[in-house]
């Protein structure tokens, strides 16, 4: 049996990816070990061994050194055949920890840190770190063509070291969740039953642009009096967002749910789904919106156009343009036929291209090639 040790510092979308991966991979062939931080809530329904390691997102030499030593001990303890590193920080910690130990190292950044909106100094530092550790990696998995092209453009490594494996969702599980939620009413969640719900799922952080979502909401209310807005998630910018909601007098038309292990519970209530990210390695939640048959407005950044074809299975706007986003939401509100067409095409696309079964199959093929 092949042992795979997953190491991650992140939660959110990365957590959902890892959970789906472990649930769906063949348990008769692969044993999974998860090394995670306190932020990562382990799904007890998944059959795996898990270990806690204190890893923080920020660079801290002492804490990072402790994390490297702890991970190295765990690698020696479990002797995995494959060490699969998820996210940038885990990528650094894990590759340092495995130097000199015989195993196969796979790295998935789930969105390059040097593509974030940050200073040129930080961007250069992040790309330098990725170039520095690329030689200690057997294969880099890119979650979109954009991610691969970005890595090659920034001279992270040669093109043949990178394999694109598009993200996916557990379509059967999501269909089951949606079916079980069909009778749920908006009022059960503190939302008026006659409300037109516009929602987003994502971390309340600069990347996901919750501030742009709130400004968009203010504009939408000018045209749709019954509009109600939901942010499914939590994060470091929550207080600032709550202050902005109050400043714009939107308190009676807004709900921030906090962390939720089943975001589909709220997506099911959406009349329109939005993702206004400033940068995005893939945008896994877009696939979840599509399987739930929700009309989508998203930003035309990074990998999002790999999922959303403008006017076909969603509508794209430029980042930070809350006026344009509001205009598109209002336009879809007024055009039921267009909404239905977007939903149908989105559902068809996700079923064909973004099923977790394909993700697993492509990974298993990669594992066989590397071992």
Angle 157-79-81 (CA atoms, 0-180°, nearest 5)? 50
CATH number of the domain that residue 38 is part of: 3.40.50.2000
Alpha carbons 123 and 111: distance in angstroms, whole number: 13
Token output for 334: 């007024």
Same domain, 182 and 328: yes
Q: How confident is residue 13, by pLDDT bands cut at 50, 70 and 90?
A: confident
Same domain, 127 and 246: no
The mean of the pLDDT values for the chain is 93
pLDDT of residue 195: 98
Same domain, 286 and 340: yes
Same domain, 347 and 202: yes
pLDDT of residue 270: 97
Residue entry with tokens 């030593």: 69
Same domain, 113 and 245: no
**pLDDT per residue over 181-203, tens digit each?**
876 889 989 999 999 999 999 99
What range does the domain containing 285 cover? 171-353
Closest by CA position to 232, among listed 252, 214, 248, 256:
256
* pLDDT higher than 80, residue 46: no
Same domain, 21 and 139: yes
Same domain, 194 and 343: yes
pLDDT of residue 281: 83
Same domain, 249 and 274: yes
Alpha carbons 46 and 174: distance in angstroms, whole number: 17
| Residues near 184 by beta carbon (within 8 Å), at least 6 away in sequence | 265, 268, 269
Same domain, 148 and 217: no
Same domain, 164 and 194: no
Same domain, 134 and 50: yes
Alpha carbons 54 and 20: distance in angstroms, whole number: 23
Number of domains in the chain: 2
Same domain, 148 and 190: no
């Amino acid at each position: 049996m092949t042992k795979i040790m997953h190491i991650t510092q992140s939660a959110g979308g990365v957590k959902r990816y890892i959970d789906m991966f472990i649930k769906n991979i063949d348990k008769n062939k692969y044993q999974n070990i998860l090394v995670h931080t306190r932020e990562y809530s382990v799904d007890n329904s998944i059959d795996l061994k898990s270990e806690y390691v204190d890893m923080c997102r920020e660079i801290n030499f002492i804490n990072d050194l402790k994390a490297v030593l702890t991970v190295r001990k765990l690698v020696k303890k479990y002797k995995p055949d494959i060490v699969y590193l998820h996210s940038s920080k885990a990528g650094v910690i894990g590759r340092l920890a495995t130097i000199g130990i015989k195993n196969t190292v796979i790295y998935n950044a789930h969105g390059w840190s040097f593509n974030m909106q940050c200073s040129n100094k930080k961007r250069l530092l992040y790309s330098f770190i990725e170039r520095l550790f690329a030689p200690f990696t057997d294969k880099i998995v890119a979650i979109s063509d954009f991610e691969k092209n970005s890595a090659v453009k920034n001279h992270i490594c040669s093109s043949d070291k990178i394999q694109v494996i598009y993200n996916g969702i557990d379509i059967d599980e999501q269909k089951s969740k949606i079916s079980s939620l069909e009778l749920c009413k908006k009022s059960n969640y503190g939302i008026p039953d006659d409300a037109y719900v516009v929602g987003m799922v994502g971390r309340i952080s600069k990347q996901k642009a919750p501030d742009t979502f709130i400004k968009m909401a203010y504009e939408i209310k000018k045209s749709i009096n019954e509009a109600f807005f939901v942010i499914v998630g939590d994060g470091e910018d929550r207080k600032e967002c709550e202050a902005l909601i109050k400043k714009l007098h939107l308190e009676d038309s807004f709900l921030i749910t906090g962390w939720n292990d089943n975001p589909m519970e709220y997506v099911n209530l959406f009349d329109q789904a939005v993702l206004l990210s400033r940068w995005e390695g893939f945008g896994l939640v877009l696939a979840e919106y599509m399987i739930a048959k929700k009309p989508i407005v998203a930003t035309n950044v990074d990998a999002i156009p790999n999922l959303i074809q403008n006017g076909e299975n969603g509508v794209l706007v430029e980042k930070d343009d809350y006026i344009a986003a509001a205009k598109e939401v209002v336009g879809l509100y007024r055009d039921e036929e267009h909404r239905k067409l977007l939903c149908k095409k989105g559902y068809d696309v996700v079923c064909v291209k973004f099923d977790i079964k394909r993700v697993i199959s492509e990974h298993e093929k990669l594992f066989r090639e590397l071992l």
